[in-house]
């Protein structure tokens, strides 16, 4: 009997089925977006001045959307919780941004980028959306260069590209290891220009607390001024959520400390469906957890796997000794090492996709072969790369019979030139010298493919409420390819949403300003104040982080790299109990007035405590393995992920019904007309 039957989970909701209309335009795939743009309604410039739009979040999607909408003539009200829009977490993206420019003349095309993205997502994304993403990718690079974004260039003065994430072309544009920073500062510049013109009113250090729905349409938000503590009512004709992902539900992740799900979750509770919430990307090469008080995890670029070899001791007594500090990794003989990726996946070796590499590391550590104090780390070893590069270099220099030491020295210099900044970062954090001893790495939560369900126009199931960037579920299916997050954020914000939103706002040219003192606004404001008062007046004894950390542990153990029905069912109960305990025993210091980050954190963790439960339920219902979602019950004899296309080629869209675990499932069936579904293999 399957777990879904035990829990009596309905496979299709009986209400609101009509809301799930993808509104994908008719016609051939390659013409859909052009035709759609030609046919949707426009709002004339004079009328745009009569329309207000709220944008929540100022990362790549939010900043670019706010700037573009303001340029077009709308009155934009933009909100961010940081002290400046420039600090949104898009800034931390390292690697690059994909675009189908084919500057390298390696056969790249819009179709190939589309195909790679759908395949990389393990066939769980919507064809038409992904094709549009690939189409507009080219404009993004043009636009950013025109804004003065300093991408890396070749000596000839033209743009440089790098390869990424196992695709067969070189289409990633980059600015050293700071591509996200440079793109965000470009969007921030465009936003700043509009702020100076008065077309964007910017609200820094403001948190969205609630969506206000009037007559079935999103008409504004309740926001909290984080500095004064004041709860404010903001009205508009439409609301755009570009509030990012929810990886922080795991407590430890590569997300920023402030990243949260609250804006999206409030929307969910007001009628927006949450799509594929269990699809989480766990990145294999992060610096491991060092202790209980660890607050976040740091990513080491995926590029390190090109030259490094991943291993653990083959004997458990060696692993034990390494953990105790009585044995050094460099003293373990070659035959006593288990290069487990090379052993299991001879064809791809250390270069298997992110999800496969992550699961394999977990499997070894679960078996007791982990190599740090917590038992959750594996080695990433550059010794053989030093030797390989050193020998080549010695040949180039014409050295006869160089000593082993000389070869290693030459090799280290080559590695330093390629990866020096990453090695420095590793040393800074761990105090270990990676040129002398293997690095320790472990997988960490990095990105969430799931998010608010949106149609082709990026509108949620609440009319007038849009979601862009990581906050929506749109383009990455069950697994995101490297360098595609930046592409999607800017595509949504610069080139998709500003057009599609006009189709909705065309009805609002005679509406006039939306009053912010209607009963709906007053009620929403009162509810927000109630929630905050309940938190601050709670007479508990434990800090918010205590609950957040425990939630993270439940999620990581049961809804992380490998999941099974039994654990997920148990996790749902545990999260439910933890949420109850949170409201009984949390202590929030300070007062409602003034700047109180602990109160703001408590409100965010309260929402994560609900989201986690829905994620586990979604993972429980999806009885197949696909992309980042691995169900132990559904694997091949060799232990590889097993997709079940017959039963599960659909998007899970959840409708809120009180408790998160009571959510009702709606299915958007995915139809593949242009791509044949195939099982991935890396043997």
Partner 1 sequence: MDLTLKVWRQDGPTEKGRLDTHQLSGVTGDMSFLEMMDVLNDNIIREGGDPVVFDHDCREGICGMCSMFINGQAHGPGRGVTTCQLHMRSFKDGDTITIEPWRATAFPVVKDLTVDRGAFDRVIQAGGYVSVNTSGETLDANTIPIAKADADEAFNAATCIGCGACVATCKNASAMLFVSAKVSQFALLPQGQPERKRRVTRMVDQMDKEGFGNCTNTGACSVECPKGIDLTNIARMNRDYLNASIKGE
Only one of the segments 24-32, 591-599, 608-616, 641-649 lies at the binding site for partner 1 (rule: CB under 8 A); that segment is 591-599
Site membership for partner 1, residue 30 (CB under 8 A):
no
Using the rule CB under 8 A, is 374 a contact of partner 1? no
Residue 4 within binding range of partner 1, rule CB under 8 A: no
Can you say whether residue 172 is alpha, beta or left, with left for phi > 0 and alpha for psi between -120 and 50 degrees?
beta
Interface residue with partner 1, options 103, 115, 348, 435 (CB under 8 A): 103
Site membership for partner 1, residue 290 (CB under 8 A): yes
- Cα-Cα-Cα-Cα dihedral sign, residues 422, 427, 430, 435: positive
- Is residue 494 part of the contact set for partner 1 (CB under 8 A)? yes
Structure tokens of 449? Answer: 């493919």
**106 in contact with partner 1 (CB under 8 A):** no
155 binds partner 1 (CB under 8 A): yes
Q: Would you count residue 174 as binding partner 1 (CB under 8 A)?
A: no
- Measured CA to CA, the distance from residue 365 to residue 359 in angstroms comes to 10
Which region among 182-190, 319-327, 376-384, 460-468 touches partner 1 (by CB under 8 A)?
182-190
**230 Cβ partners below 8 Å, 6+ apart?**
224
230 binds partner 1, rule: CB under 8 A: no
Binding of partner 1 by 143 (CB under 8 A): yes
Q: Which of 8, 105, 295, 537 binds partner 1 (CB under 8 A)?
A: 295
CB neighbour class for 675 (10 Å; exposed up to 12, middle 13-18, buried from 19)? middle
Q: For the window 497-516, what string marks contact with partner 1 as x by the rule CB under 8 A?
A: -x------------------
* 227 belongs to the binding site for partner 1 (CB under 8 A): yes
Task: Report if residue 68 touches partner 1, rule: CB under 8 A.
Answer: yes
Q: Which residues of 26-61 are buried (b: 16+ CB within 10 A; e: fewer)?
A: eeebeebbeebbeebeebeeebbebbbbbbbbbbbb
Site residues for partner 1, 257-276, by CB under 8 A, read 257-258
**92 part of the interface to partner 1, by CB under 8 A:** yes
71 binds partner 1 (CB under 8 A): yes
Question: Which residue in 109, 181, 384, 585 binds partner 1 (CB under 8 A)?
Answer: 181
Q: Which residues contact 178 (CB under 8 A, 6 or more apart)?
A: 94
> Quick check: 674 binds partner 1 (CB under 8 A)?
no
The four Cα atoms 414, 417, 423, 424 give a dihedral, to 10 degrees, of: 140
Residue partners of 229: CB distance under 8 A and separation at least 6: 591, 592, 593, 594, 595, 596
Q: In angstroms, what is the minimal distance from the CB of 169 to partner 1?
A: 17
Q: For the chain, what is the largest distance between any 2 Cα atoms, rounded to a whole number of angstroms?
A: 86
Told to check if 542 binds partner 1 by CB under 8 A, we report yes
Binds partner 1 (CB under 8 A): choice among 37, 162, 193, 406: 193
Q: Restricting to residues 417-446, which ones interact with partner 1 according to CB under 8 A?
A: 428-431
Q: Rule CB under 8 A: say whether 190 interacts with partner 1.
A: yes
Q: How far is the CB of 81 from partner 1 (least distance, A)?
A: 9
Angle between helices 60-72 and 497-505 (to 10 degrees): 50
Determine which residue in the list 58, 64, 102, 516 makes contact with partner 1, applying CB under 8 A.
Answer: 64
- Cα R_g (the chain), whole angstroms: 25
Backbone angles phi, psi at 565, to 5 degrees: -55, -40
Least distance in angstroms from the C-beta of 67 to partner 1: 6
Q: Are 306 and 351 in contact (CB under 8 A)?
A: yes
Q: What is the nearest approach in angstroms of partner 1 to the Cβ of residue 26?
A: 24
């Amino acid at each position: 009997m399957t777990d879904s039957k035990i829990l009596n989970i309905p496979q299709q909701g009986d209400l609101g089925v009509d809301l799930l209309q993808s509104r994908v335009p008719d016609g051939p795939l390659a013409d859909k977006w052009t035709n759609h743009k030609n046919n949707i309604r426009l709002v004339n410039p004079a009328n745009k001045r009569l329309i207000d739009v709220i944008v929540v979040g100022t990362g790549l999607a939010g900043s670019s959307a706010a700037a573009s909408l303001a340029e077009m003539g709308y009155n934009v009200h933009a909100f961010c919780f940081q002290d400046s829009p420039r600090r949104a977490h898009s800034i931390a993206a390292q690697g690059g941004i994909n675009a189908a420019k084919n500057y390298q003349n390696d056969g790249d095309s819009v179709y190939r980028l589309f195909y790679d993205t759908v395949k990389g997502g393990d066939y769980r994304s919507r064809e038409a959306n992904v094709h549009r993403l690939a189409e507009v990718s080219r404009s993004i690079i043009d636009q950013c260069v025109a804004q003065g974004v300093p991408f890396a260039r070749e000596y000839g003065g033209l743009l440089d590209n790098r390869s990424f994430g196992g695709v067969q072309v070189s289409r990633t544009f980059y600015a050293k290891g700071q591509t996200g920073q440079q793109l965000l500062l470009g969007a921030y510049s465009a936003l700043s220009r509009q702020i100076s013109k008065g077309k964007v009113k910017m609200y820094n250090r403001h948190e969205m607390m609630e969506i206000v729905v009037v007559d079935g349409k999103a008409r504004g938000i309740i926001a909290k001024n984080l500095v004064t503590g004041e709860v404010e009512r903001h009205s508009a004709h439409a609301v755009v959520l570009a509030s990012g992902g929810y990886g922080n539900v795991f407590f430890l992740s590569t997300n920023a400390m402030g990243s949260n799900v609250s804006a999206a979750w409030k929307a969910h509770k007001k009628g927006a469906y949450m799509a594929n919430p269990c699809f989480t990307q766990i990145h294999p090469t992060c610096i491991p957890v060092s202790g209980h008080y660890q607050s976040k995890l740091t990513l080491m670029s995926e590029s390190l796997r090109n030259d490094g070899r991943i291993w653990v001791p083959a004997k458990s007594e060696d692993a034990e000794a390494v953990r105790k500090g009585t044995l050094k990794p460099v003293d373990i003989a070659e035959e006593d090492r288990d290069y487990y990726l090379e052993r299991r996946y001879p064809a791809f070796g250390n270069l298997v996709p992110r999800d496969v590499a992550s699961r394999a590391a977990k499997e070894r550590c679960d078996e007791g072969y982990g190599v740090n104090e917590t038992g959750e780390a594996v080695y990433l070893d550059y010794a053989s790369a030093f030797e390989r590069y050193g020998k080549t270099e010695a040949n180039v220099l014409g050295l006869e019979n160089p000593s082993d030491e000389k070869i290693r020295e030459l090799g280290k210099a080559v590695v330093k030139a390629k990866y020096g900044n990453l090695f420095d970062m590793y040393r800074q954090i761990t105090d270990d010298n990676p040129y002398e001893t293997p690095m320790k790495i472990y997988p960490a939560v990095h990105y969430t493919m799931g998010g608010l369900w949106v149609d082709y126009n990026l509108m949620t199931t609440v009319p007038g409420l849009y979601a862009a960037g990581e906050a929506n579920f749109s383009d990455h299916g069950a697994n995101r390819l490297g360098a595609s997050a930046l592409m999607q954020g800017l595509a949504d914000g610069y080139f998709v949403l500003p057009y599609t939103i006009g189709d909705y706002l065309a009805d609002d040219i005679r509406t006039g300003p939306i009053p912010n003192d209607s009963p709906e606004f007053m009620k929403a404001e009162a509810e927000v104040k109630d929630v905050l008062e309940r938190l601050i007046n709670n007479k508990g004894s434990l800090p918010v982080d205590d609950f957040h950390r425990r939630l993270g542990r439940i999620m990581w153990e049961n809804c992380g790299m490998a999941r099974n029905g039994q654990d997920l069912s148990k996790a749902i109960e545990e999260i439910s109990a933890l949420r109850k305990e949170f409201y009984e025993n949390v202590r929030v210091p300070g007062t409602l007035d003034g700047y109180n980050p602990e109160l703001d954190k408590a409100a965010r963790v309260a929402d994560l405590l609900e989201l986690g439960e829905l994620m586990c339920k979604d993972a429980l219902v999806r009885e197949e393995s696909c992309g980042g979602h691995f169900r132990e019950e559904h694997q091949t004899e060799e232990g590889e992920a097993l997709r079940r296309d017959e039963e599960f080629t659909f998007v899970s869209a959840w409708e809120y019904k009180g408790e998160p675990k009571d959510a009702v499932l709606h299915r958007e069936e995915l139809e593949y007309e242009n791509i044949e579904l195939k099982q991935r293999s890396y043997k």
